[in-house]
A = this chain, B = another copy of it.
Amino acid sequence: MSHRNVSEISWSGWGDPEHKTALSPELLSLVQGALQIKHPGKTAPALEALTLSPSALPDAGLESLRSAVGNEHVLLDDEARIRHLRGKSTPDLLKLRSGDTTDSPDAVVVPGSNDEVAAVLAVCAEQRVAVVPFGGGTSVVGGLTPERGAFAGVIALDLTRLDQLVSLDTVSRTATLEPGLRGPEAEALLAAQGYTLGHFPQSFEYATIGGFAAARSSGQASAGYGRFDERVVGLRIATPSGTVSLATAPKSAAGPDLRQLFLGSEGAFGVITAVTVEVSPTPAVKLYEGWRFPSFDEGQAALRTLIQDGPVPTVLRLSDEMESALNLARPDSIGGEGATGGCLSIVGYEGTAENVDARQAAASEVLRALGGVPEPEAGPAWEAGRYSAPYLRDALLDAGALVETLETTTFWSGIPALYEAVREALVEALGAQGTPPLVLCHVSHVYRSGASLYFTVACAQSDNPLAQWQKAKTAANDAILAAGGSITHHHGIGVDHKAWYEQQIGEVGIAALRAVKRELDPGGIMNPGVLL
């Protein structure tokens, strides 16, 4: 399945199986004690031991799909189907650990061009086959788990053969990329010419360009480079009703910004087959530091001052007291020494040496004036572990902990109440099930008028961890909406957030989106049940 020199992601957990993280005996003991874990978690069976329903794809459809993309690019084997089953949320992993393969696609189809994507959509529309666009497979909100409903079958449309840097415009500083490029692949192609996307979400190692756009990803350096959707200046989308190309200018007054209708559309309208995105020169210097604040509120005020009045660092994050105490920003030493109270912020600068120096000097003055104390060594420690949390989750699930993350966003003035509301909902919902949780939080992204909160929850697994988490997640989602937050900041809607999304944007908003869906996807084959 792998078309390039990148490791294939673990089918049952996160990341490169070679890099599986084990908990140190000390951390294991700490976790077991703190969470009052009674029993280890269920681990995944061998892939070979899983059983799948036979592919339901009609013969005529199968033949047409083979004609569209070539025999060798229509995969029916169990391994391919299992590797395209759901995403990487904790519920997704728990289901696999239980051997639940009910959502497997009937086939994996791997097109090699926009025209082949269009041909596959035509076949599927005719044959009433649902299509799940599949990039890195890293959704954590059920974005890859469509409703099979009355469809004749479901295919995963694996986009990883669409892996080209189509063009680089060094004057305009834009690159046109195909959707199947994974983060590191896109970075390598651009780095060879002296550029970077500056987009480094935690899923960076496996997530793809198309997924970044379709789910409105936001990276750890968003303060400096912007969110992925803010960097997108052009899109090409193949829909069942035809292909649309939107790449005329960065901004204009030519009606509604249609790019913003497809960004975040999660495959419900069509398949993104090219993305034109702003690029930046490869920074000569990357400097990450820690700053410790007496409290979460004081830290937030400092971050807000920087993003509103400048100078704006490239990376700007802030852990709450509990997360700081556990050193979650430094996965090398979680629970170890160095947690000296207060709240740890990570502040990073990328750019030319001169630019980094100037911004660091001016920002440090602001941070110091607002109560920050520098902790330089925390920066490199954060950098070293910036992609490691999902690996750690696998080990914690093995150990019997239930671990998951969720996130939200609102305006700055609403952040304190939103923070309390979500924390309380999680503590109450899990406590009521006899598994009081640890709830950790950090401000992960900042804007002039608002910020995002990223929560990590850990507790002992009950006998039915899926149901246990569902209750907690429901309580958290209700609390988010009640406190005026968005049901998601950068994970997306998928199937999991749909009920709350409908409340958030209201009947008229949903009606508008459904109208677009009916027009562009009259058969409703595109990721049915996801988003809408």
Contacts and interface: CB of A to CB of B under 8 A. Distances in A.
A252 B485 CA distance: 10
Given A410-B249, A449-B172, A244 B518 contact: no
27 contacts: A172-B411, A172-B450, A173-B412, A173-B448, A217-B253, A218-B253, A229-B257, A241-B508, A248-B410, A249-B485, A250-B447, A251-B450, A252-B490, A254-B497, A254-B501, A254-B505, A255-B266, A255-B492, A255-B501, A257-B263, A258-B505, A260-B260, A260-B261, A269-B512, A512-B520, A515-B516, A515-B518
A247 to B, nearest CB: 8
Interface in A346-371: 355
Interface in A406-431: 409-414
Interface string A480-518: 000011111111110001000100111111011111101
Contacts of A254: 264, 486-488, 493, 497, 501, 504-505
Contact of A250 (B242, B243, B448): B448
Given A250-B450, A448-B278, A413 B244 contact: no
Contacts of A248: 409-410, 484-486, 504
Contact of A255 (B244, B257, B258, B265): B265
Contacts of A261: 256-257, 260-261, 512
Given A169-B413, A278-B449, A512-B258, A488 B246 contact: no
A308 interface: yes
A239 B486 CA distance: 23
Contacts of A174: 411, 449
Interface in A274-290: 278
Contacts of A243: 508
A204 B7 CA distance: 56
A227 B257 CA distance: 13
A459 to B, nearest CB: 26
Given A172-B413, A261-B256, A310-B355, A249 B450 contact: yes
Nearest to A413: B171
Interface string A215-252: 11110000000010110010000010111111011111
A422 to B, nearest CB: 14
Q: How many copies does the complex hold?
A: 2
A414 B252 CA distance: 15
Interface in A259-314: 260-266, 269, 278, 304, 308, 310
Contacts of A217: 253
Interface in A511-532: 511-516, 518-520, 531
Contacts of A411: 169, 171-172, 174, 233, 249-250
A410 to B, nearest CB: 5
Given A248-B485, A449-B174, A518-B515, A491 B266 contact: no
A246, A409, A448, A511 pick with most chain B CB within 10 angstroms: A448
A416 to B, nearest CB: 10
The 4 closest A-B pairs by CB, nearest first: A260-B260, A515-B519, A216-B253, A172-B411
A187 to B, nearest CB: 19
Given A256-B264, A355-B310, A493-B254, A249 B409 contact: yes
